[in-house]
Structure 1
Amino acid sequence: MREATGATLGARPAGDDAEALFTRHFVAQASRPLGLLDVPVGSLHPGHRCLLATDGMVSTTLEAYNLEPIAARPVSQADVRVRAAEAHWLGVASAATAFRRRVALRGAVSDALYVVAESLLVPSRLPAGFGGAIDRFASGLGAALLASGIESRRELLWFGAGPIPDWYPMPDGRHVLQRAYRVVHGGEPVALITESFL
């Protein structure tokens, strides 16, 4: 086994290599919604890169980075008809019904707004009573999935920069980092989640 040198230890891919290294984790980057802008990942803060690429719980990552508990505060939740693009990623018929939950992830101490997220859930593919269980976990959907004991995996779809969703208006109209992923259980998508990082 060859000993690593200081020159190779600190080496980082540059330019297009860095972009390719990062985007290979997103299976549908080429299919991202129109209006999402390219993000030069090499210029992002490492914390933002970690948030975009994590396939674990965002609230846990935020708690570790900010050293405060994270609370998922519901903005709205209701049964809705899914649009065609959403139906595709959920693997359901167009105009099927899903449970939509919109939340703001805030610091439980600072009240700082870190993320706004929208989840579309397919209740028939989740354990009975799962929808009601979400509200029992302050940090949100990920904690509820973990506590339910169902085996699931996250599939990162795409990321980019775009305006904050119109259901959570911000006064300055700035662009934010966004990503989408789906949660797969039993070989079927059970949730499509879009997150905007502030």
Structure 2
Amino acid sequence: MSQVIANEHLMRDDLQQSLERHHINPATLSTFQRILLTTDGTLTDILEAYLFEQIQVVKISQNLIPIPKSLPIMELVEGTDVIDRRILLQGRISRKNYIYAESILVPERLDDNFRHELFKTKTPIGKIWLEQKVETFKEILDSAKEPAQDLAKYFTIEPSDNLLSRTYRVFTNGKPVMMITEKFPESYFINSV
């Protein structure tokens, strides 16, 4: 019992509450799953270190669209143009899809060079930030567990299998420039590689 109580205080309160709100018990997650859901590091670098494989971006879609309704958490009003991006983080050698990510980026808040790299290359966003030395602050907003449904095809799992996810926003120069949700199968990253 004392071990359970001690573990409850190992995680920031906001992260603990987010997991609990979606009925995710951190004690049932593997160490690496907890890292993926609760750290604000660059996911591509974390995956490459864990998997010992280079990770590449596979773009599913990337479109400039007006948002249909205001999004206060991003300080956006209805009709503001955003980049709606959906990608997979895939092993360069294994061709295994590890992460599905969907994001909203505010192009008017991004540097021209950043936008160019985003649209013209397959470089992961975290690596663009690093290469261009863009200062960022990440704030984790939520974690979730949900059935994979249509995303199952990317992971060769059943639609009823669960995905774990985290949603966070990224600030540059004091303004939110991006909100991203990253999802992976609950069955991934359970054992050490």
Name which one, 1 or 2, has greater alpha-carbon Rg: 1
Scaled by the length of structure 1, what TM-score is found? 0.79
Correspondence 1:147-158 to 2 at 5 A: 147-158=131-142
1:42 positional shift? 0.8
Residues in 2 aligned to 1:118 and 1:51: alpha-carbon distance in whole angstroms: 16
Letter in 2 for 1:14: V
Normalized per residue, the structure richer in helix is: 2
Q: Given the alignment, which residue of 78, 83, 98 partners 1:114?
A: 98
Unpaired stretches in structure 2, ≥5 consecutive residues: 186-193
What's the counterpart of residue 7 of structure 2?
18
Say what the alpha-carbon RMSD is for the aligned residues.
Answer: 2.7
CA distance in 1, matches of 2:123, 2:17: 27
Count of residue pairs the alignment pairs up: 180
Taking the aligned partners of 1:141 and 1:28, their CA distance within structure 2 comes to 28
Would you say the 8 A contact 2:100–2:182 is kept in 1? yes
Provide, for residues 142-183 of structure 1, a one-character-per-residue CA deviation record: whole Å limited to 9, x for no partner: 1111212221111111102013374x4436112110110011
Work out which of the residue numbers 154, 172, 175 in structure 1 matches 2:158: 172
Q: TM-score, normalised by structure 2?
A: 0.81
Q: SS where residue 33 of structure 2 aligns?
A: helix
Q: Which residue identity does 1:42 align to in structure 2?
A: A
Do the aligned partners of residues 192 and 41 (structure 1) sit closer, same or farther apart at CA in structure 2, a change above 3 Å counting? same
Identity %: 28
* Map of 1:4 onto structure 2: none
How far, CA to CA, are the matches of 1:83 and 1:145 in structure 2?
Answer: 28
Structure 1 residue 137: Cα displacement: 5.7
